Amino acid sequence: MIQDISFKRINKLAFPALIAGVAEPLLSTTDLAIVGNINHNATESIAAIGIVGAFLSMLIWVFGQARSSISSIISQYIGADKLSEVKNLPAQAIAIILVTSLVILGITYPFAKEIFQFYNASDSILDYAIEYYKIRVFGFPFTLFVIAVFGTFRGLQNTMYPMLIAIIGTIVNIVLDVIFVYGIEGYIPAMNITGAAYASVIAQIVMALVSVYLLLTKTEISLKFELPFNKEIPKFINMMLNLFVRTIALNLALYFATSYAVSYGKEYIAAYTIGFNIWLMGAFMIDGYSSAGNILSGKLLGAKAYSSLLKLGNNLLLYGFVFGVFLAIIGFVFYDFIGRIFTQEQAVLEHFYNTFWIILIMQPICAIAFIYDGMFKGMGEMKYLRNLLLISTAVIFIPVLLFFDSLDYKLHAIWIAFYAWIIARALPLILKFRNTFLSHSQND
């Protein structure tokens, strides 16, 4: 079978995935940009959104790994030309994820205060965080549903529909953010941070409805839950468990970063929140190529096309590095402008500008790490990814953060630790991939 891994094919998958990827963090970034320009307690509101965003990101990244697991299984079956054997898997996987999300919602909702105190939030920041979370959390099940549907589409080698869904959700969120946060005089009162929360939840519901429509009308996949469970469900659960442990390690790093930023003061956590959301935006943009790698690597592995798989890895390494350099250049060109999109507070901007350059120079390495991360997920190598992130967090991120924090580097300590962490994730993935498939490709 001829496998198309041309630049055109990769970009045909990557570009829609890039748009869809940017739309996901844009929900929180839009909240930040709009709330950051309100007249009442803007800095405290940004800080609250940042803390809640860190916690919600933890939940979404832990349970949203269903996307990678579903995509990996379906793409490998497509490569082996056996899709009919897993047509009922997405509905079963989605049911498992939704039940779990409702349990998490029920557990976390009454303990919102304790959760955000754990993040060192206090006073008005704590009050805003609780208020924002107790609305935003109701969008959590809808978010996980959409993520699982995205995984199904990716497994089917389709990134166009996720892009369409994401664009619709983003437009709804931006429009409602402006209306609810600032209000419409004489019609809708300004709701400030709560308005941003309502806008996000409604956008997530709209995305879920569009996802259902497209999956049922444009594919052969059914959302009807049927027993017995598909034979690949144990593999799906095993992948999820490995990614669950992996994501705990990831979120341990995010917790340490957020907690330390909060402890430095409200201007620091506000500046960190802006920087983190921009970094996240870059990560999701790079996710376009990561998604292409995820989709194609699973299919090529299923087809046992090892030479093509090795070539794909080499191509994506180059494309990702160049794209990362491009993002860094754009960031440096619009350095001052980017900060002022989110806030006009001079103290916050000063801390942001002092560290933004670190975020930018790590973009090429981030691109490589995220792309190979996607490829390993596509190949079902969840155990290796789990172990690598556990080691990177425990041996690299936390010690580097503690060392530079002891030197009073503050936000610099956080971003230097993230840079070292990304390098520690990227290099082993490249070496493992090449060592594994160089030998396989010689016998291909």
Residue 150: name the closest of 136, 137, 164 by CA: 164
pLDDT at site 286: 82
pLDDT at site 41: 79
DSSP state of 36: T
Neighbours of 266 (CB within 10 A): 23
pLDDT at site 1: 45
For the chain, 444 residues long, give each residue's pLDDT as a single digit of tens: 446 677 788 888 888 887 876 666 666 667 777 887 777 777 888 888 888 887 887 787 777 778 888 988 898 888 888 888 988 999 999 999 889 889 988 999 999 999 898 887 888 889 989 999 999 999 989 989 998 999 899 889 888 999 999 889 989 988 998 999 888 888 888 888 899 899 989 999 999 999 999 999 998 888 888 889 999 999 989 988 898 888 888 888 988 998 899 889 888 988 998 899 889 888 877 878 888 888 888 888 887 888 888 888 888 889 889 999 999 999 999 999 998 888 888 988 999 999 999 999 999 999 999 999 989 988 888 899 999 999 999 999 999 999 999 999 999 999 999 999 999 999 999 999 988 877 666 665
pLDDT at site 424: 96
pLDDT at site 354: 94
pLDDT at site 25: 63
Neighbours of 213 (CB within 10 A): 12
Which two three-digit tokens encode residue 21? 């990827």
pTM, rounded to two decimals: 0.77
Which residues, including other chains, have CB under 8 Å from residue 135's CB and lie 6 or more apart?
A: 194, 197, 198, 201
Cα 58–Cα 368–Cα 59 angle in degrees, nearest 5: 5
**Angle separating helix axes 266-302 and 335-342, nearest 10 degrees:** 110
Which residues, including other chains, have CB under 8 Å from residue 387's CB and lie 6 or more apart?
A: none
Which residues, including other chains, have CB under 8 Å from residue 309's CB and lie 6 or more apart?
A: 297, 300, 301, 437, 440, 441
Neighbours of 307 (CB within 10 A): 15
Distance CA 98, CA 118 (A): 26
Radius of gyration from C-alpha coordinates of the chain? 21
Distance CA 405, CA 169 (A): 39
Question: Quick check: 66 and 151 in contact, CB under 8 A?
Answer: yes
Question: Quick check: 98 and 272 in contact, CB under 8 A?
Answer: no
Three-class DSSP category at 142: helix
Distance CA 413, CA 46 (A): 21
pLDDT at site 283: 82
Distance CA 249, CA 239 (A): 16
Distance CA 222, CA 34 (A): 39
Distance CA 141, CA 342 (A): 28
DSSP characters for 80-135?
TT-GGGGTTHHHHHHHHHHHHHHHHHHHHGGGHHHHHHHTT--HHHHHHHHHHHHH
Report CA 97 to chain centroid distance, whole Å.
Answer: 17
Distance CA 391, CA 400 (A): 13
